[in-house]
A and B are shown apart, each in its own frame.
Chain A
Amino acid sequence: DAKTTQPTSMDCAEGRAANLPCNHSTISGNEYVYWYRQIHSQGPQYIIHGLKNNETNEMASLIITEDRKSSTLILPHATLRDTAVYYCIVRAGRIQGAQKLVFGQGTRLTINP
Protein backbone atom coordinates (compact mmCIF):
# COMPACT_ATOMS: atom_id res chain seq x y z
CA ASP A 1 0.00 0.00 0.00
CA ALA A 2 1.19 3.50 -0.83
CA LYS A 3 2.63 5.66 1.92
CA THR A 4 0.85 8.88 2.86
CA THR A 5 2.08 12.14 4.33
CA GLN A 6 -0.16 14.39 6.42
CA PRO A 7 0.50 17.46 8.56
CA THR A 8 0.81 16.60 12.21
CA SER A 9 -1.77 19.11 13.37
CA MET A 10 -4.17 21.77 12.12
CA ASP A 11 -6.55 24.27 13.61
CA CYS A 12 -9.82 25.53 12.21
CA ALA A 13 -12.47 27.94 13.46
CA GLU A 14 -15.91 26.57 14.16
CA GLY A 15 -18.26 27.10 11.24
CA ARG A 16 -15.45 27.39 8.71
CA ALA A 17 -14.41 24.76 6.20
CA ALA A 18 -11.62 22.48 7.35
CA ASN A 19 -9.31 21.38 4.55
CA LEU A 20 -7.05 18.46 5.40
CA PRO A 21 -4.33 17.66 2.85
CA CYS A 22 -2.72 14.31 2.16
CA ASN A 23 0.17 13.46 -0.13
CA HIS A 24 0.34 10.00 -1.68
CA SER A 25 2.80 10.40 -4.53
CA THR A 26 3.45 6.64 -4.91
CA ILE A 27 -0.20 5.69 -5.31
CA SER A 28 -0.85 3.09 -7.98
CA GLY A 29 -3.73 2.84 -10.39
CA ASN A 30 -5.86 0.41 -8.43
CA GLU A 31 -5.47 2.09 -5.05
CA TYR A 32 -8.21 4.07 -3.39
CA VAL A 33 -7.86 6.97 -0.97
CA TYR A 34 -9.72 6.40 2.29
CA TRP A 35 -10.29 8.79 5.16
CA TYR A 36 -11.04 7.78 8.71
CA ARG A 37 -11.12 9.79 11.89
CA GLN A 38 -10.76 8.95 15.55
CA ILE A 39 -12.41 11.09 18.14
CA HIS A 40 -10.51 10.83 21.42
CA SER A 41 -10.24 7.08 22.19
CA GLN A 42 -13.31 5.99 20.27
CA GLY A 43 -13.14 3.50 17.44
CA PRO A 44 -12.00 4.97 14.13
CA GLN A 45 -14.88 6.20 12.00
CA TYR A 46 -15.05 5.77 8.24
CA ILE A 47 -15.59 9.10 6.47
CA ILE A 48 -15.22 8.75 2.72
CA HIS A 49 -13.18 7.14 -0.01
CA GLY A 50 -12.42 7.78 -3.67
CA LEU A 51 -10.47 6.48 -6.63
CA LYS A 52 -10.02 9.40 -9.01
CA ASN A 53 -13.22 11.39 -9.09
CA ASN A 54 -14.18 13.86 -6.41
CA GLU A 55 -16.62 12.42 -3.91
CA THR A 56 -19.12 13.91 -1.50
CA ASN A 57 -21.27 12.43 1.20
CA GLU A 58 -23.14 13.71 4.21
CA MET A 59 -19.96 14.02 6.23
CA ALA A 60 -17.36 15.43 3.87
CA SER A 61 -16.00 15.98 0.39
CA LEU A 62 -12.90 14.38 -1.05
CA ILE A 63 -10.95 16.17 -3.75
CA ILE A 64 -8.32 14.10 -5.57
CA THR A 65 -5.87 15.80 -7.91
CA GLU A 66 -5.83 14.75 -11.52
CA ASP A 67 -2.46 12.97 -11.14
CA ARG A 68 -3.82 11.32 -7.97
CA LYS A 69 -0.69 12.17 -6.03
CA SER A 70 -2.52 14.17 -3.42
CA SER A 71 -5.98 14.71 -2.02
CA THR A 72 -7.89 17.01 0.32
CA LEU A 73 -10.62 16.12 2.74
CA ILE A 74 -13.06 18.97 3.24
CA LEU A 75 -15.37 19.31 6.20
CA PRO A 76 -17.60 22.12 4.92
CA HIS A 77 -18.85 23.57 8.21
CA ALA A 78 -16.65 22.32 11.01
CA THR A 79 -18.13 21.93 14.48
CA LEU A 80 -16.47 21.27 17.82
CA ARG A 81 -17.46 17.60 17.43
CA ASP A 82 -15.17 17.36 14.41
CA THR A 83 -12.12 17.69 16.66
CA ALA A 84 -10.31 14.40 16.05
CA VAL A 85 -7.31 12.72 14.49
CA TYR A 86 -7.88 12.29 10.76
CA TYR A 87 -6.18 9.47 8.89
CA CYS A 88 -5.58 9.35 5.16
CA ILE A 89 -5.00 5.77 4.00
CA VAL A 90 -4.25 4.53 0.52
CA ARG A 91 -4.96 0.94 -0.36
CA ALA A 92 -6.41 -1.33 -3.00
CA GLY A 93 -10.14 -1.34 -2.58
CA ARG A 94 -11.61 -4.21 -4.47
CA ILE A 95 -9.95 -7.11 -2.71
CA GLN A 96 -12.31 -9.02 -0.51
CA GLY A 97 -10.65 -10.82 2.33
CA ALA A 98 -7.30 -9.06 2.53
CA GLN A 99 -7.79 -5.46 3.44
CA LYS A 100 -5.89 -4.42 6.50
CA LEU A 101 -5.69 -0.70 7.11
CA VAL A 102 -2.28 0.79 7.73
CA PHE A 103 -2.67 3.83 9.94
CA GLY A 104 -0.03 6.53 9.99
CA GLN A 105 0.14 9.28 12.57
CA GLY A 106 -2.69 11.25 10.99
CA THR A 107 -3.56 14.93 11.40
CA ARG A 108 -4.82 16.14 14.74
CA LEU A 109 -7.54 18.63 13.82
CA THR A 110 -8.68 21.02 16.51
CA ILE A 111 -11.82 23.05 15.94
CA ASN A 112 -11.77 26.25 17.94
CA PRO A 113 -14.92 28.11 19.08
Chain B
Amino acid sequence: DSGVTQTPKHLITATGQRVTLRCSPRSGDLSVYWYQQSLDQGLQFLIQYYNGEERAKGNILERFSAQQFPDLHSELNLSSLELGDSALYFCASSGRGGTGPYEQYFGPGTRLTVT
Protein backbone atom coordinates (compact mmCIF):
# COMPACT_ATOMS: atom_id res chain seq x y z
CA ASP B 1 0.00 0.00 0.00
CA SER B 2 1.61 3.25 -1.19
CA GLY B 3 -0.55 5.49 0.97
CA VAL B 4 -1.99 7.24 -2.10
CA THR B 5 -5.70 6.71 -2.64
CA GLN B 6 -7.74 7.21 -5.79
CA THR B 7 -11.46 7.14 -6.38
CA PRO B 8 -13.33 5.78 -8.14
CA LYS B 9 -11.57 2.57 -9.09
CA HIS B 10 -13.60 2.14 -12.24
CA LEU B 11 -15.64 4.59 -14.25
CA ILE B 12 -17.75 3.92 -17.31
CA THR B 13 -19.28 6.84 -19.12
CA ALA B 14 -20.45 7.95 -22.53
CA THR B 15 -18.80 10.18 -25.09
CA GLY B 16 -19.35 13.86 -24.50
CA GLN B 17 -19.70 13.47 -20.74
CA ARG B 18 -17.61 14.95 -17.96
CA VAL B 19 -16.01 13.07 -15.05
CA THR B 20 -13.93 13.91 -12.00
CA LEU B 21 -11.19 11.69 -10.66
CA ARG B 22 -10.02 12.17 -7.11
CA CYS B 23 -6.65 11.61 -5.48
CA SER B 24 -5.52 11.82 -1.87
CA PRO B 25 -1.73 11.97 -1.50
CA ARG B 26 0.36 10.35 1.20
CA SER B 27 0.16 12.20 4.45
CA GLY B 28 2.50 15.18 4.34
CA ASP B 29 3.30 14.98 0.63
CA LEU B 30 3.06 18.35 -1.07
CA SER B 31 3.25 17.35 -4.72
CA VAL B 32 0.59 15.54 -6.69
CA TYR B 33 1.13 14.25 -10.22
CA TRP B 34 -1.33 12.87 -12.73
CA TYR B 35 -0.39 10.30 -15.36
CA GLN B 36 -2.38 8.66 -18.12
CA GLN B 37 -1.71 5.15 -19.36
CA SER B 38 -3.35 4.03 -22.54
CA LEU B 39 -2.53 0.91 -24.52
CA ASP B 40 -0.82 2.70 -27.36
CA GLN B 41 0.87 5.55 -25.46
CA GLY B 42 2.31 4.03 -22.33
CA LEU B 43 2.59 6.09 -19.16
CA GLN B 44 2.35 9.79 -19.93
CA PHE B 45 2.75 12.66 -17.51
CA LEU B 46 -0.22 15.04 -17.52
CA ILE B 47 0.23 17.66 -14.82
CA GLN B 48 1.80 18.37 -11.44
CA TYR B 49 0.64 20.46 -8.52
CA TYR B 50 2.82 21.51 -5.64
CA ASN B 51 1.21 22.83 -2.47
CA GLY B 52 -1.85 24.04 -4.34
CA GLU B 53 -0.14 25.57 -7.35
CA GLU B 54 0.37 24.18 -10.81
CA ARG B 55 4.04 23.40 -11.22
CA ALA B 56 4.48 21.47 -14.46
CA LYS B 57 2.36 20.53 -17.44
CA GLY B 58 2.81 17.63 -19.79
CA ASN B 59 0.69 16.35 -22.62
CA ILE B 60 -2.58 17.38 -21.06
CA LEU B 61 -5.46 18.15 -23.38
CA GLU B 62 -7.35 21.42 -23.06
CA ARG B 63 -10.47 19.40 -22.24
CA PHE B 64 -8.69 18.21 -19.11
CA SER B 65 -8.03 20.27 -16.01
CA ALA B 66 -6.87 19.66 -12.49
CA GLN B 67 -6.58 21.37 -9.16
CA GLN B 68 -5.12 20.77 -5.75
CA PHE B 69 -7.09 21.83 -2.73
CA PRO B 70 -5.88 23.30 0.59
CA ASP B 71 -6.01 19.84 2.19
CA LEU B 72 -3.68 18.74 -0.65
CA HIS B 73 -6.06 16.31 -2.30
CA SER B 74 -6.36 16.72 -6.04
CA GLU B 75 -9.00 16.30 -8.68
CA LEU B 76 -8.59 15.68 -12.39
CA ASN B 77 -11.53 16.83 -14.48
CA LEU B 78 -12.06 15.33 -17.92
CA SER B 79 -14.72 16.86 -20.15
CA SER B 80 -16.19 16.29 -23.60
CA LEU B 81 -14.94 12.76 -23.33
CA GLU B 82 -13.93 10.85 -26.42
CA LEU B 83 -13.37 7.14 -26.98
CA GLY B 84 -9.64 7.76 -27.02
CA ASP B 85 -9.71 9.04 -23.46
CA SER B 86 -10.30 5.52 -22.23
CA ALA B 87 -7.25 4.74 -20.14
CA LEU B 88 -5.85 4.17 -16.69
CA TYR B 89 -5.30 7.40 -14.80
CA PHE B 90 -2.74 7.34 -12.02
CA CYS B 91 -2.05 9.83 -9.34
CA ALA B 92 1.30 9.99 -7.56
CA SER B 93 2.60 12.05 -4.69
CA SER B 94 5.99 13.04 -3.38
CA GLY B 95 7.89 15.52 -1.33
CA ARG B 96 7.61 15.55 2.40
CA GLY B 97 10.19 18.27 2.57
CA GLY B 98 13.91 18.10 3.04
CA THR B 99 16.45 18.27 0.26
CA GLY B 100 15.31 15.33 -1.86
CA PRO B 101 15.68 13.30 -3.97
CA TYR B 102 11.96 12.85 -4.25
CA GLU B 103 10.65 9.47 -5.26
CA GLN B 104 7.02 9.29 -6.29
CA TYR B 105 4.44 6.95 -4.81
CA PHE B 106 1.57 5.93 -7.05
CA GLY B 107 -2.03 5.22 -6.31
CA PRO B 108 -3.92 2.18 -7.64
CA GLY B 109 -5.39 4.15 -10.52
CA THR B 110 -8.80 4.84 -11.98
CA ARG B 111 -9.80 2.86 -15.04
CA LEU B 112 -11.89 5.08 -17.30
CA THR B 113 -13.92 3.52 -20.07
CA VAL B 114 -15.67 5.82 -22.53
CA THR B 115 -18.38 4.14 -24.62
Taking the complex as formed, is A21 at the interface, i.e. its CB lies under 8 A from any CB of chain B?
no
Chain A residues with CB below 8 A from B88, complex form: 41
* Complex: chain B residue closest to A47, CB-CB: B103
Residues B104 and A99 in contact, CB atoms below 8 Å apart:
yes
- Nearest chain A CB to B7's CB is how many angstroms away? 14
Residues A103 and B104 in contact, CB atoms below 8 Å apart:
no
Residues B4 and A43 in contact, CB atoms below 8 Å apart:
yes
- Nearest chain B CB to A18's CB is how many angstroms away? 21
Partner among B30, B44, B95, B107 whose Cβ is within 8 Å of the Cβ of A43: B107
> B88-111 toward A: CB 8 Å interface, digit per residue (1/0)?
101010110001111111111101
Residues B100 and A43 in contact, CB atoms below 8 Å apart:
no
Q: Is the interface of B mostly helix, strand, loop or mixed?
A: strand
Give the interface centre of A34, A43, A105 by most chain B CB atoms within 10 Å: A43
Q: Is the interface of A mostly helix, strand, loop or mixed?
A: loop
Partner among A42, A51, A101 whose Cβ is within 8 Å of the Cβ of B104: A101
Residues A99 and B102 in contact, CB atoms below 8 Å apart:
yes
- Nearest chain B CB to A63's CB is how many angstroms away? 18
Q: With A44-B43, A105-B42 as known contacts, state yes or no: A97 contacts B104, CB within 8 Å.
A: no
Q: With A49-B103, A93-B100, A94-B100 as known contacts, state yes or no: A99 contacts B109, CB within 8 Å.
A: no
Residues A98 and B56 in contact, CB atoms below 8 Å apart:
yes
Write the residues of chain B forming the contact surface with A, with a CB cutoff of 8 angstroms.
2, 4, 30-31, 33, 35, 37, 42-45, 48, 50-51, 55-56, 58, 88, 90, 92, 94-95, 99-109, 111
Provide a sorted-by-A list of 12 A–B residue pairs whose CB atoms are within 8 angstroms. A42-B109, A46-B103, A46-B104, A49-B101, A49-B103, A94-B99, A97-B55, A97-B95, A99-B102, A100-B33, A101-B43, A101-B45
Write the residues of chain A forming the contact surface with B, with a CB cutoff of 8 angstroms.
32, 34, 38, 41-46, 49, 51, 87, 93-105
Rank and list the top 3 A-B pairs by shortest CB-CB distance, nearest first.
Answer: A93-B101, A43-B106, A94-B100
With A32-B101, A34-B103 known, 15 other A-B pairs at CB within 8 A are A38-B43, A41-B88, A43-B90, A43-B109, A45-B106, A93-B101, A94-B101, A96-B102, A97-B48, A97-B55, A98-B56, A99-B104, A101-B33, A101-B35, A104-B42
